[in-house]
Amino acid sequence: MKLPCPKCQSTETKVTSVDKKDDHVARYGRCLNCDNKYITRERVEDRMRTNAGNFKLNDHQVTQIGLNIYGLSTTEWANIYDVASSTVLKAKERHLRSSY
């Protein structure tokens, strides 16, 4: 997926150079539509961000529970993520709401 140009929002962009730094990767890009030059930086987070509030599962975990491609029960998901069964049920509800 190409990131849009920060100036004109065109997705016709090109990465012209990549620099690997100690704590991040810098990508130098150019928009093929407006010729704007820009830099994006990517760094690894120490931990995954979680949903707002006291909810204990992150977005990836909510998606995994919602899709349930492994056919696991609520109790099995609760044991995997070390949360209460009610948290797994809330994750299922969140996934359903975000699917619409």
pLDDT in tens, 61-94: 999 999 998 899 999 999 999 899 999 999 999 9
| Other C-beta atoms lying within 10 Å of the C-beta of residue 61 | 20
Q: Which tokens sit at 39? A: 């830099």
Residue 30 predicted with pLDDT over 80: yes
- Percent over 70 (pLDDT), the chain: 87
Select the more confidently predicted residue: 48 or 63: 63
pTM above threshold 0.85: no
Residue type, 6: P
